[in-house]
């Protein structure tokens, strides 16, 4: 179930059920200008699918759409300076780290590599343009890749700087501009894999293939002796045993922890009188950000992770729809005793869209 979302299918379902599922009548609709809640919007349909998958499916791999949409909505709550230095890729490039793929470059471009291989001029072989995955990555300092590897969600975090030459740039500030076609450097890379089974093999495969993938975006991985290595181990990771299908929940929580750490770094370092946030953070090893994450992999942590994902979706739904959305707790197949008999708890309630208020309700 890692990537079964279909916009076409969700749109068709939304045409039938959208009014009841996504919206509620309120005084706001009668006296405010502009369009009301649009249940056909792609982001709203994505959220509806993500919420359903998180609520209903508990024993299969967490959906890509649920992770992507939740983290995207989470990003909406962070500062503009934070969003300026961060890029997020979820589920793509899909398959490039899979065991059953012979990843040989640059001889052949298969279906997977088509999403990473840069476009070249067929006449002279010169650079033409990057694939979309690298357009945002090259503009960021911190890039978060949440990728599926053989049924396990893995997080790759990269810190990107302009070409790094320690001797050349020892006594002067480096430029932080990024020009297409010019190489930049993945200065620090960390792989967060929370599943015990097969972890060493997955890490080995990522370390072997990632340099080739990044090269398509003109991103190099240097090896500088005596300094922090580009690849380094991650200490204190929570670990799942025989529960790889829950890796998406734990990886999502790790990303949120790292987001919060990075926001703290950004707020501490930003100073308009001493340069932009990109200049202030360029080519710096931020210990508070890279330090170990102490987090247990117990059921309580996973319950909280699932709840936070749903909470992000609800916040994003409300925020991007001018707060014309509501969240509900459903109790399917639950019966309550009313009078002399039993009745479905859903039948005992009036549908929100059928309830007319007295005009005094809060607009939020």
Q: What is the mean pLDDT of residues 194-219?
A: 91
Digit-coded pLDDT (tens) for 183-194 = 999 989 999 999
Rounded CA separation 244/188 (Å): 27
**Which of the 8 DSSP states describes residue 274?**
G
**Which of the 8 DSSP states describes residue 227?**
S
Rounded CA separation 199/154 (Å): 10
Q: Which of 297, 256, 239, 306 is nearest to 59 (CA)?
A: 306
Token pair in block for residue 165: 């030459």
Token pair in block for residue 8: 């076409």
Cβ neighbors of 350 (< 8 A, separation 6 or more) are none
Does the pLDDT of residue 298 top 80, yes or no?
A: yes
Rounded CA separation 137/89 (Å): 8
What's the pTM?
A: 0.80
pLDDT of residue 206: 92
Digit-coded pLDDT (tens) for 219-265 = 998 865 555 568 888 888 889 998 899 999 999 999 999 999 999 99
pLDDT of residue 158: 95
pLDDT of residue 75: 92
Residue matched to tokens 């992507």: 68
Dihedral angle sign, alpha carbons of residues 332, 336, 341, 343: negative
Rounded CA separation 48/59 (Å): 19
Cβ neighbors of 193 (< 8 A, separation 6 or more) are 149, 152, 154, 155, 199, 202, 203, 237
Tell me the H-state helices in 132-246: 132-137, 199-215
Q: How far is CA 206 from CA 20, 75, 151, 155, 346, in A?
A: 45, 26, 14, 11, 49
Digit-coded pLDDT (tens) for 256-297 = 999 999 999 999 998 878 888 888 888 888 999 999 988 888
351 CB burial (10 A radius; 0-12, 13-18, 19+): exposed
Strands 341-344 and 335-338, by their bridges, are: antiparallel
Dihedral angle sign, alpha carbons of residues 18, 21, 26, 32: negative
Rounded CA separation 82/262 (Å): 8
Cβ neighbors of 290 (< 8 A, separation 6 or more) are 188, 190
Does the pLDDT of residue 154 top 90, yes or no?
A: yes
CATH of domain 61-320: 3.40.395.10
Rounded CA separation 220/131 (Å): 17
Token pair in block for residue 342: 């039993």
Q: How many residues does the chain have?
A: 364
Rounded CA separation 312/70 (Å): 5
| Helices 42-56 and 299-320, packing angle to 10 deg | 160
Digit-coded pLDDT (tens) for 74-104 = 999 999 999 999 999 998 777 788 887 766 6
Digit-coded pLDDT (tens) for 12-40 = 665 545 444 444 334 444 444 445 556 67
Other C-beta atoms closer than 10 Å to the C-beta of 137 total: 22
Longest dimension (CA), the chain: 86
CA dihedral 276, 282, 285, 290 (to 10 degrees): 70
- The chain-wide mean pLDDT, for the chain, equals 77
């Amino acid at each position: 179930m890692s990537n079964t979302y279909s916009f076409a299918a969700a749109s068709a379902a939304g045409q039938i059920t959208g009014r009841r599922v996504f919206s509620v009548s309120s005084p706001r609709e009668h006296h405010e200008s502009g369009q009301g809640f649009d249940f056909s919007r792609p982001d709203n349909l994505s959220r509806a699918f993500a919420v359903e998958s998180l609520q209903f499916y508990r024993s299969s791999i967490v959906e890509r759409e649920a992770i992507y949409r939740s983290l995207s909505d989470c990003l909406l709550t962070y500062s503009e300076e934070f969003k300026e230095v961060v890029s997020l890729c979820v589920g793509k490039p899909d398959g490039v780290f899979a065991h059953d793929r012979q990843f040989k470059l640059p001889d052949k471009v298969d279906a997977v590599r088509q999403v990473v291989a840069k476009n070249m001029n067929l006449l002279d072989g010169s650079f033409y343009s990057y694939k979309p995955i690298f357009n945002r990555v090259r503009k960021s300092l911190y890039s978060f890749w949440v990728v599926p590897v053989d049924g396990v969600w893995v997080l790759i975090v990269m810190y990107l700087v302009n070409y790094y030459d320690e001797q050349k740039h020892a006594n002067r500030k480096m430029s932080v501009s990024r020009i297409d076609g010019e190489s930049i450097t993945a200065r620090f890379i960390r792989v967060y894999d929370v599943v015990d089974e097969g972890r060493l093999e997955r890490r080995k495969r990522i370390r072997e293939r990632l340099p080739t993938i990044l090269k398509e975006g003109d991103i190099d991985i240097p090896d500088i002796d005596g300094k922090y290595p580009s690849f380094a181990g991650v200490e204190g990771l929570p670990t799942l045993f025989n529960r790889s299908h829950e890796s998406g929940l734990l990886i999502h929580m790790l990303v949120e922890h790292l987001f919060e750490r990075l926001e703290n770094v950004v707020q501490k370092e930003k100073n308009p009188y001493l340069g932009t946030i990109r200049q202030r953070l360029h080519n710096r090893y931020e210990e508070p950000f890279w330090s170990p994450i102490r987090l247990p992999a117990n059921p309580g942590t996973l319950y909280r992770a699932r709840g936070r994902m749903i909470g992000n979706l609800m916040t994003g739904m409300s925020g991007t729809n001018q707060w014309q959305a509501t969240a509900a707790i459903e109790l399917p197949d639950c019966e309550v005793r009313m009078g002399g008999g039993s009745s479905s708890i859903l039948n005992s309630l009036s549908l929100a869209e059928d309830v007319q208020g007295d005009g005094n309700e809060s607009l939020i």
